[in-house]
Structure 1
Amino acid sequence: MFAYLVKRVFQAAVVMFVISLISFSIQDNLGDPLRELVGQSVSEEVREQLRDELGLNDSFLVQYGRFAKKAMRGDLGTSYFFKEPALEVILKKLPATLELVLGATFIIIGLSVPLGVFTAIRPHSIFSRVIMGFSIIGISVPVFLTAILMIFVFSVEMRILPSYGRGDVVHVFGYWSTNFLTWDGWKHILLPSAALASIMLPLFIRLIRSEMMETLQSEYVRFAWAKGLRPRRIWFVHALKNTLLPVITVGGVQIGTMVAYTILTETVFQWPGMGFMFLEAVNRVDTPLIVAYLIVVGFIFVVTNTIVDLIYGLVNPTVKLARMGA
């Protein structure tokens, strides 16, 4: 296991190098950062002087080398707009995004497992057909449209849930402030979490259903039926356990991806997280903040995949044996 862990950490380091290289290379295509720094009234001579001071006239390799050296120390540059370290700006926005993803994850797990299992056990029931029909609609409808529809129904028409912002939050430690400790915070996070969950929920329902139906046709399940075990024990102990193995892998990847998917959700609900900050940074051509955001999101994705892969190896004996053989 230790050798495999070292291998995964090395692979993660290589992936992060590629992500940082790609993120840094696109900054020249984002516009002129001096436009936001000095405006239009500054002479060309002053602009060139500022370019030299900022190192914008250096070659790409020189600029990337300087950036990589600082990044190894946790310095991802200084935001042109906030006049603060870009990583510090992101860390202030990170709790809002992670709590939004966490809320969506709770909704996905809480609904996809029972619905997926039910549709596999009773595939021809009316309720199962309704669920599968809605799952097709959910996959087809973009998240921003779902978010707008939720705002119209629950905020405009019914007026029971707020449509923007985080509401009352409680400061925990460092940059971390949470919605989960106040009733107003719960009301504010419910709609954006549900909208974000609508992206992955249909996928998970269909995935669990297909894996469960395949598992129910396996030999050991048929043997369990022949032994006369109770149906619930067969469904939820023998079949569901093996159904969830591939779901763990897919789920970890998709939940990590949701951090990047929050951009549209946060924009519609004016949620003060990393996604909303990223769009503002693009509009302002805040290059250091854009690059830092891409690297942080890539880092979260890589770490999530590594952890999920290790967990999958712990719960799946065949993976353990394959590694021992390797």
Structure 2
Amino acid sequence: MLGFLIQRFLQAIVVLVVIAALVFLGVFAIGNPIDVLISPDATQQIRLDTIARYGLDQPLWQQYLAFLGRLAQGDLGRSFVFNMPVLDLVLSRLPATLELTLAAVAGATLLGVPLGMFAGYRPHSKVAKLLMGLSILGFSVPTFWIGLVLILVFAVSLGWLPAGGRGETVTVLGVEWSFLTLDGLKHLLLPAVNLSLFKLAMMMRLARAGTREIVLTDTVKFARASGQSEWTILRHHVLPLISIPIVTVFGLEFGSTLAFAVVTETIFSWPGLGKLIIESIQSLDRPVMVAYLMLVACLFIVINFLIDLAYAALDPRIRARR
């Protein structure tokens, strides 16, 4: 197991170095931030001083080496627009996105897996067919359209829930959370539902497919022959056997949702990382863009590592091979 951990750590270092180069070169090729930072009627001297202050007058390879040196020290630079350390800026927006992502993915998993198992266990029932039909809608309807409909119905027409913002928050250990207050929960509900529908449909279909496959195996047949109840069979035999693909999808969906919740955060004015990256792209705030993409890369590396550990915990055969 120790050899596996060392191998994955070395792979992660190589991946991060390659991604750092791709991210830096890709962001460098997008426009000229000086055109956004400086007024068009500024003098040439002011323009040259600003370029030198941000180090944009250096050759590309020198900028990249300076970037790697700062990155090794945990310094992601300063934001051109907000004029503050990028790491502080990203960390200030991360709790909002993390809270929204956890609510969406956890809710979709806790609801989708039981519904999918029921649909797989009773595939010919009317309820199962209705659930599968609704899951197709979850895959097909665009997220932005669902968000607008939710706002129109529950915020504008009925007035039950707020249309945007994060609401009242509570600070715990220096981090603001909105789910700890009633007003914050009201603000969290609509964007979390909007973000979770696609994940809910995926979890339902994944659990259904796994359940349909497992109930036909000899394991379930022997369990029934031994007199075990159907609930016991589902809980002790079917659920553990379908848990590995569910853990995989949960981890990857959590990472992708945390990284790309841009549409939902924009529609509901949720002050998270998605809204921040949109603002940074519009203003060509390169340090923020690079920090965001590096954070996404690190996030997926960590999630894949945790998924491998979860495999080893769920399946003894994997532990034996390692």
Q: TM-score range by the shorter chain?
A: over 0.9
Residue identity in the other structure for 2:80: Y
For 2:245, the equivalent position in structure 1 comes to: 246
Q: Distance in 2 between matches of 1:126 and 1:269?
A: 35
- 3-state secondary structure, aligned to 1:57: coil
Structure 1: tracts of 5 or more residues without a match: none
Q: Distance in 2 between matches of 1:276 and 1:53?
A: 27
Q: Alpha-carbon deviation of 1:73?
A: 0.9
Q: Does 1:320 align with 2:322?
A: no
Q: Are 2:154 and 2:160, in contact at CA under 8 Å, matched by a contact in 1?
A: yes
Q: CA RMSD in A?
A: 1.4
Q: Distance in 1 between matches of 2:84 and 2:143?
A: 32
Q: Are 1:162 and 1:187, in contact at CA under 8 Å, matched by a contact in 2?
A: yes
Q: Distance in 2 between matches of 1:156 and 1:49?
A: 50
Q: Distance in 1 between matches of 2:286 and 2:134?
A: 41
Q: Alpha-carbon deviation of 1:41?
A: 1.4
Residue identity in the other structure for 1:273: G
Structure 2: tracts of 5 or more residues without a match: none
Q: Alpha-carbon deviation of 1:178?
A: 0.3
Residues 37-62 of structure 1 show CA distances to partners (whole Å, capped at 9, x for unaligned) of: 22211233442343234322333222
Residues 272-308 of structure 1 show CA distances to partners (whole Å, capped at 9, x for unaligned) of: 0010011011111111111111111221222122112
Residue identity in the other structure for 2:311: Y
For 2:279, the equivalent position in structure 1 comes to: 280
Residues 214-252 of structure 1 show CA distances to partners (whole Å, capped at 9, x for unaligned) of: 111122111112222211111221111111122111211
Q: Are 2:109 and 2:250, in contact at CA under 8 Å, matched by a contact in 1?
A: no
For 2:141, the equivalent position in structure 1 comes to: 141
Residue identity in the other structure for 2:104: A
For 2:58, the equivalent position in structure 1 comes to: 58
Q: Distance in 1 between matches of 2:29 and 2:263?
A: 22
Q: Distance in 2 between matches of 1:68 and 1:3?
A: 28
Q: Alpha-carbon deviation of 1:77?
A: 1.1
Q: Distance in 1 between matches of 2:105 and 2:87?
A: 25
Residue identity in the other structure for 2:305: T
> What fraction of aligned residue pairs are identical, expressed as a percent?
38
Residue identity in the other structure for 1:26: G
For 1:123, the equivalent position in structure 2 comes to: 123
Q: Alpha-carbon deviation of 1:253?
A: 1.2
Q: Distance in 2 between matches of 1:27 and 1:255?
A: 25
Q: Distance in 2 between matches of 1:9 and 1:197?
A: 32
Q: Alpha-carbon deviation of 1:173?
A: 2.3
Count of residues in correspondence between the two structures: 322
Q: Alpha-carbon deviation of 1:106?
A: 2.5
Q: Are 1:256 and 1:300, in contact at CA under 8 Å, matched by a contact in 2?
A: yes
Residue identity in the other structure for 1:268: I
Q: Does 1:298 align with 2:297?
A: yes
Residues 81-121 of structure 1 show CA distances to partners (whole Å, capped at 9, x for unaligned) of: 11001111010000000000011122112211110111001
- Following superposition of structure 1 onto structure 2, how do residues 34-113 of structure 1 map, counting pairs within 5 Å? 34-113=34-113
Q: Distance in 1 between matches of 2:181 and 2:96?
A: 14
Per the normalisation by structure 1, the TM-score is 0.95
For 1:33, the equivalent position in structure 2 comes to: 33
Residue identity in the other structure for 2:124: H
Runs of 4 or more consecutive aligned structure 1 residues displaced over 3 Å after TM superposition: none
Q: Distance in 1 between matches of 2:269 and 2:213?
A: 42
- 3-state secondary structure, aligned to 1:171: strand
- Following superposition of structure 1 onto structure 2, how do residues 154-193 of structure 1 map, counting pairs within 5 Å? 154-174=154-174, 176-193=175-192
Q: Alpha-carbon deviation of 1:20?
A: 1.7
Q: Distance in 2 between matches of 1:250 and 1:318?
A: 21
Residue identity in the other structure for 1:192: P
Residues 152-210 of structure 1 show CA distances to partners (whole Å, capped at 9, x for unaligned) of: 11111111111100000011123x10012110000100110111111211111101110
Q: Are 1:30 and 1:282, in contact at CA under 8 Å, matched by a contact in 2?
A: no
